[in-house]
Structure 1
Amino acid sequence: MPSKAIRHALTKLEAACLDAALDEGPIEDVLDTPRMYLVRAAKAVDGFRLGGPAPLGGVQLVSKLQKELAGLLAQLDGCLPRMSVEKQHGTTSRAVLANIVAAVPGMLDDAKALDPYMSPLAMFD
């Protein structure tokens, strides 16, 4: 499956968010693993090689995934103490983790839909 790296990172992200929601440690430690998998998922989407000429449907799916992941990362970063300006909006880490868990199934469907748009040369990566 061409989108295996994306789907793997999203699955790990979902599990890490569920684990983090139960953790009572310092917020930086609690959000560390979910943030790592969120960044990995974003990098996997960025590295997905579309077949050329790039089909419009594939470009739209990649763009949608990039936008969703960037938005979730911004929300997660807003919970960290070093981002005190964004923290004033009142979002809690548990609410953000719940948003991420709720968004993962849709992103997994979008990642599966990317498979037909893969570049034939991507199998050599």
Structure 2
Amino acid sequence: MGPPSSSPGLPAGMNCEQARERARRVLAGYGAPAALVADLLTVVSELVANAIRHAGRVTGFDIRQRGGQVVIEVSDHSLRLPHPRPPSPDGPRHFGWRLVKTLAPTVFIRFHRGSKTITAPLPAYTSRP
């Protein structure tokens, strides 16, 4: 994978597709393997969707390589902690945070002036086929 880079500055009110497209461009510059790209795009989608659903909008987004990891950061204006919820009997709902924690088990949450940033590092390599 290539030199460190980042993609700050997605507009407030961005949607999941905009975040995934930014992530694809950054990851293409790293030459990331397909399995890693799939995992990263899943985490991006879940974090952005949760920020929109639970906080109204995304206030910040960044994806970059740091050391042996690719780091995703999503910010919103909520002080509520994400938490796993029981699966919904009415369809495929309430699995997002559990999925994020499975793909990025060392998630960090920082609070700052009425908002939070979730940082999800994933290894820059994968052993999956």
Higher helix share: 1
TM-score by length of 1: 0.37
Higher strand share: 2
TM-score by length of 2: 0.36
